[in-house]
A and B are shown apart, each in its own frame.
Chain A
């Protein structure tokens, strides 16, 4: 099959499902059709990823609709890895929605379109197209064809405005090298300021993850995982791939690492003192995203691997937090375990890999990373509890699969994370090895399977023996409520000049500017 046709297949699967649910509205099978569409897209992307040679990338160009930005699908390991995980998460969310009750709306078409838009972000072939895809994604998740639609309009505006940073950088690359195509941009094209400006879309989406102060109101929320977490992670890694695998300057590297970890630490602290609230998983997901951002700034091969692991893991974990879990669902416990940055949580693998990179360069940097992990672990330990009548459901299976990925990281590491990391930067041979028991990075071995199984077993016994909860629990401090009582002083506008004066000043400034333009040398 021609490569150009192959590249379209994931979209074709989703669009076919979208058309099917559009023309047969309110059918009970629509959810299954939608999930099948997303699942098919994930499978196709996975097949393409497996067939891709190491370091290979395929650009399939179709049309020159935008000047100097062809309509191109860029299939490299980074794009395809994110596409696989995003489409899989979308599929799982749809399946959970199919079996859940309490919401009679028919979201399948919108969800499929949002999935297609997220895939278009991940498969866009140049920066200008990436910006357009980001806009399409915002339109798809918000559904606000009418720009003034009141539903979450400020969030929409924030995302649209921050995406302009990406457009700005696309313009800069076109100005520098005549194209914004990934394959045509030399690694020194994007300077420090441009890099930071281009990061803005990712930062606002991470901020959006942190926004909800309660758990999901509907049985399943779609956008946090597919429309916010996935593009944010992808964008960070894509920008790194365009700058040669590391941030442009040492100053930015240090600043990004420090700011990311400080923000993660503060969020972890907030989560720990708030205790068991519906917002806890949301806070912990944000901690994970900020930690991934901080690790991304480190320029070593192992830290790139770690960042890739964390960003890819963030998508299904965010998806799991978007499911309204029943009080006795085992998934609640498993979700918290996964979000803890210590074993047996899957996120620990990313931290361990990044830590090995730090040991090779600056050991001192490990301290803040460890502190964040400790605070998160303490927060989780203070609220985790086992009910006697736990129910095993679909989200539990999802969470268990993620735990298993942490215990046996070899498959995910070899087939998803490492190819993605190699698309970001060169990973020398022998940087890591995997075996059924764990992974080796450099000279150190992490026995992931034994440790995870042992910790999980110990945790289970502890929870059983200590009256279903660990002794770290404490009364929560209502920090948010206290913050809410602080009143900012109101801005008073009594002393502003009147309208006539303003108007005169307005024209005087314009005339002065024109005179300056005329007189300028």
Chain B
């Protein structure tokens, strides 16, 4: 009977939190977290469960509900309830298929339920309180799933749980405002140090605190540099999230990596509902990949895990066509996928390539579906999406010469650092164009070359995407003559990074120690 107690506690908390306001809702949310912690305590270890619960409890308290809930009409109430029930049922089915040992699935399913409910509130919020508590629950629930699957140490569980605090903090203080120049300069300096260290030394370094380990080996080093650079050049006040996105790249534990990625995604403002759904669909797919690897039966794990990785990256790329999601989430997700692909076997890589090709075709066809916005906006979105398609192919290439990784980094710089900037003057225009020696050009060239290393069909797809990018270039609106405004420090940085990386992409091979 005690094995079913957590799920009963969770459902009681859900009932309380779903329609009640203020203190009752707060209590309901805390009870839901307690249900999840109970489940982890029984399955993994009480200390780990307690450590994990710290973050969600703090998050719930920080995003505490203070207002009265809006009363819904009957149809709306039924619709919301049906969606919630369907989400819980879906989570239950997944939990039953991905059981852990001899444990009954309702016990392990509590964290799945928490994630599903949080996702429902996050994507279909009734109000801001719903969105805030939804973010906390989503992170808590799905990091709980990862804790369940990987059984990490206490400190890792604590840090993963604390990720649930990030959206609550951002929601509480409205994005913390624009990051002051010293913070951005610090991030820029850190990115520079990483680049110099990567080029000049072959000694790989990592930091360990108890069971939390950060490593800059392999693709993590340039990946971290790109994430920090993109965060530093964000003009919209999201530079604060740079270190969190950096954690998503540098952490070795899959729990921490996913938790940090999801925390950044949850903290960023929702641009449009469709984009938000795509983004979370992608992030959940990325979560499923390591979970399936551990919990599913061997043949299914080998088949589904690479497909989930590719689908996740494709969906994140679709969602990241504009805004800060492209600058912070896409690089972190891409580097995570690069790291994961390098650990796949040959069969897994072939399967990943098939799924990535499907994703790239999806992205290539996406411009046909873009009907909103003016023509320049549509062209810009199409261009970003097709570049992301090329990025997928580069990641999938996994060629022995490592051209794919180099191409992926170059395309990430184009997407996350160069494309958001609007540069004036001949140098700036060259830097953000697709002509040599801009980074976009080098990225495209190396992506095609890398794809051919994998297969001729993948190479042909890369060529088609590159031709599409050329077409989008000539279809976009001509830029007005520069008004004579000089490049700012950010503009100069972007131009130098674009032209430097475009002129000498081989430096990335050195950073990768190939």
Contacts and interface: CB of A to CB of B under 8 A. Distances in A.
Interface of A: 63-68, 128, 131-132, 135-136, 139, 145-150, 153-154, 156-157, 160-161, 164, 167-168, 170-172, 174-175, 178, 499, 502-503, 506, 509-510, 513-514, 516-520
Contacts of B303: 518-519
A145 B433 contact: yes
Given A146-B433, A147-B435, A519-B303, A67 B509 contact: yes
Nearest to A160: B470
B452 A168 contact: yes
A135 B442 CA distance: 11
Interface of B: 303-304, 306-307, 310-311, 314, 351, 354-355, 358-359, 361-362, 365, 368-369, 371, 401-403, 406, 426, 429-430, 433-436, 441-442, 445-446, 448-453, 456, 459-460, 463, 466-467, 470-471, 473-479, 503-506, 509
5 contacts: A66-B446, A135-B441, A145-B433, A146-B433, A157-B471
Contacts of B442: 66
A517 B355 contact: yes
A516 B403 CA distance: 27
A174 B401 contact: yes
Q: Which 3 A-B pairs have the closest CB atoms?
A: A171-B452, A513-B358, A147-B473
Contacts of B401: 67-68, 174, 178
B436 A132 contact: yes
B474 A510 contact: no
Q: Which of A168, A509, A517, A520 has the most CB of B within 10 A?
A: A517
A164 B471 CA distance: 13
Contact of A164 (B306, B434, B466, B506): B466
Contact of A514 (B311, B430, B433, B450): B311
A203 to B, nearest CB: 16
Contact of A520 (B354, B402, B467, B504): B354
A149 B430 CA distance: 13
Given A148-B478, A157-B471, A517-B307, A65 B503 contact: yes
Nearest to B318: A510
B92 to A, nearest CB: 22
A150 B478 CA distance: 7
Contact of B463 (A66, A164, A510): A164
Contacts of B478: 146, 148-150
A167 B474 contact: no
Contacts of B441: 135
A168 B463 CA distance: 8
A514 to B, nearest CB: 5
A66 B307 CA distance: 31
B470 A157 contact: yes
B435 A164 contact: no
Contacts of A160: 467, 470
A517 B473 contact: no
B403 A68 contact: yes
A427 B446 CA distance: 37
Contacts of A502: 368-369
Contacts of A513: 354-355, 358, 361-362
A167 B448 contact: yes
Nearest to A194: B456
A135 B435 contact: yes
Contacts of A63: 504
Nearest to A513: B358
Nearest to B453: A175
A487 B456 CA distance: 39
A218 B81 CA distance: 73
Nearest to A70: B506
A120 B182 CA distance: 44
A499 B274 CA distance: 15
Q: Which of A153, A154, A520 has the most CB of B within 10 A?
A: A520
Contacts of B451: 171
Q: Which of A136, A139, A146, A499 has the most CB of B within 10 A?
A: A146
Q: Which of A63, A156, A174 has the most CB of B within 10 A?
A: A174
Contacts of B470: 147, 157, 160-161
B448 A171 contact: yes
Nearest to B464: A164
Nearest to B358: A513
Nearest to B441: A135
Contacts of B359: 510
A174 B358 contact: no
Contacts of A519: 303
A157 B506 contact: no
Contact of A145 (B361, B430, B448, B471): B430
A517 B396 CA distance: 13
B435 A499 contact: no
A235 B463 CA distance: 20
A330 to B, nearest CB: 42
A76 to B, nearest CB: 24
Contacts of A128: 445, 449
B445 A145 contact: no
A136 B354 CA distance: 34
Given A148-B476, A161-B467, A517-B354, A167 B433 contact: no
A63 B503 CA distance: 11
A67 B452 contact: no
A171 B471 contact: no
Nearest to B307: A518
B449 A139 contact: no
Given A147-B476, A164-B467, A506 B365 contact: yes
Contacts of B430: 145
Contact of B406 (A67, A178, A506): A67
B459 A171 contact: yes
Nearest to A507: B362
Given A164-B466, A518-B351, A506 B477 contact: no
Contacts of A147: 433-435, 470, 473-474, 476
B429 A145 contact: yes
A136 B433 CA distance: 13
Contact of A172 (B362, B446, B452, B504): B452
B449 A174 contact: yes
Given A148-B476, A149-B478, A518 B304 contact: yes
Nearest to B502: A65
Given A174-B401, A503-B369, A510 B453 contact: no
